[in-house]
Structure 1
Amino acid sequence: MSFVAEFSVRYPILREARACVPGIELETEDVRQTPDGRQRFVFWASGDDFEAFESGVEADATATEYSVLGDSGERRLYRVTLSESAGERTTHSVAAKHDIVFLDVTADSEETRIRARVPDRDALFAFRDACRERDLAFRLVGIYDGGGETADGRQYDVTASQREALVHALDAGYFDVPRRTTLSELADDLGISDQALSARLRRGQTGLVRSTLDGPSDT
């Protein structure tokens, strides 16, 4: 029976660029292959210094070119074409081989967090082994049983950091009408940037809705 697994992988892709902005968070939108066989990533970036990140991308050996596709103020949408050597360190083809579907892919300055639909444990172990063969550190965070609960007791498709942000926001009155606190105040409390907190709250809310409301209605 299939399940949802959450795990982290330390990819070298854009690692130098990500390190330029410690509070940055990247959220993958799409992965395509160019006519010459290279991989092209489209992702949203949330952080407090996009100029530093872009300078980092220009100097990062894993990227050959990039474009800014959109800018909402708090986030920017990027398209980055990977170098040939960097493309060989990705694992999307491995996931496809084992019928693993990436549902969410997010990265910070240290690691990439992936939530994926996995057909069985053999497929998950095969993916883990493929990561290790590529010298990519793999860490299993949790396995969801399909009802919103992980093997370690975490519920509702929400990570520990997302839960912390959501609960703190609730306790501080961020969801009240009118609000009793601001995003900046919450971010200061948690020691992260406004953009990173905004992305964390958004992903946490998405997980809650997906695990509790995204299904057939009883009425």
Structure 2
Amino acid sequence: MTVTTEFLISSPSLPLVSLAESLSSDRIECVHGLCLEHDSRVFVVYLDPADDLTETALCAYDEIVEATSLGRSSGKDVYQVTVELADVVSEAFAPERFTAAQMEPTIVTPEGWYEKKLFEDYHAFNGLTNRCEEYGIDIELISISQDSSAPGDSSTYGLTDRQYEALTLAVSRGYFESPRRTSTAELAEEMGISQPSMSSLLRRAERQLLTATLGSRPRPESASE
């Protein structure tokens, strides 16, 4: 199973945000190695030519140590920049805790980093959110979906696809945290079902997981659940 996620991370410690704030386009596209290499500091950034930046201008920003022009690609000016990472950023994204594949370039705006990443499973993504929270980095989940083409762990525990979808959504929205960050009514609205149906779906999924992991034989569920 793999999990595709879209999320926004925000923190004053994130590199390149101040650069995005100063640009008329308010936007930078970049590729980086965070989550793959500890203390990765090399970014490849794609800038709007209208922003008219040079290597010298980029190096004038305190966080940028070095900048090298790589030419132009797809109508963007491309630079390789070495940035000075804040300790909280390098620690929060420490790859020994999780790894993630960057599916699209990171979009840096004054609000933060918009990311689209592929994780090996939900637990790997949850590791990222926990680390961000631990280091005071806000993370807002925009979407999360399981790769249905891959063999799903849900079948291992006897969960139906709908049960797995409900549990994944509930965990991602903080339903099982204390205090809860969402309600069954809000989850039901996202899934397009009634609140009683959502409650029933979660209850059956939880029971299925418990019976599967504890070794009891569960009652067969209908395919629609």
Q: TM-score, normalised by structure 1?
A: 0.54
The aligned counterpart of 2:23 is: 21
Q: Relative to 1, partners in 2 of residues 1:117 and 1:38: Cα closer, same or farther, differing over 3 Å?
A: closer
- Determine if the alignment matches structure 1 residue 58 to structure 2 residue 59: yes
C-alpha separation between the residues in 2 aligned to 1:91 and 1:112? 17
The aligned counterpart of 1:98 is: 98
- Determine if the alignment matches structure 1 residue 67 to structure 2 residue 68: yes
Is this contact kept in 1: 2:55–2:67, CA < 8 A?
no
Cα offset for 1:88?
5.2
1:65-104 CA-partner distances (Å, limit 9, x unpaired):
2122113583110111112x43651478535632322222
C-alpha separation between the residues in 1 aligned to 2:49 and 2:91? 26
The aligned counterpart of 1:77 is: 78
Cα offset for 1:15?
1.9
The aligned counterpart of 2:126 is: 125
Q: TM-score, normalised by structure 2?
A: 0.53
Unaligned 5+ segments in structure 2 are: 150-168, 170-189, 192-225
Choose the corresponding residue for 1:45, options 44, 47, 52: 47
Highest Rg: 1 or 2? 2
The aligned counterpart of 1:4 is: 4
Residues 116-155 of structure 1 correspond to what in structure 2 (within 5 A)? Answer: 116-146=117-147
1:12-32 CA-partner distances (Å, limit 9, x unpaired):
202221111142432223549
Unaligned 5+ segments in structure 1 are: 154-219
Q: CA RMSD in A?
A: 3.4
Q: Relative to 1, partners in 2 of residues 1:14 and 1:89: Cα closer, same or farther, differing over 3 Å?
A: same
C-alpha separation between the residues in 1 aligned to 2:107 and 2:92? 14
Could you tell me the percent identity over the aligned residues? 17
The aligned counterpart of 1:190 is: none
Residues 177-188 of structure 1 correspond to what in structure 2 (within 5 A)? Answer: none
Cα offset for 1:135?
2.2
1:86-143 CA-partner distances (Å, limit 9, x unpaired):
3651478535632322222222232211111112222212101211223221110001
Secondary structure of the structure 2 residue equivalent to 1:64: strand
Secondary structure of the structure 2 residue equivalent to 1:94: coil
Cα offset for 1:52?
8.6
Secondary structure of the structure 2 residue equivalent to 1:98: coil
Residues 189-208 of structure 1 correspond to what in structure 2 (within 5 A)? Answer: none
Cα offset for 1:64?
1.1
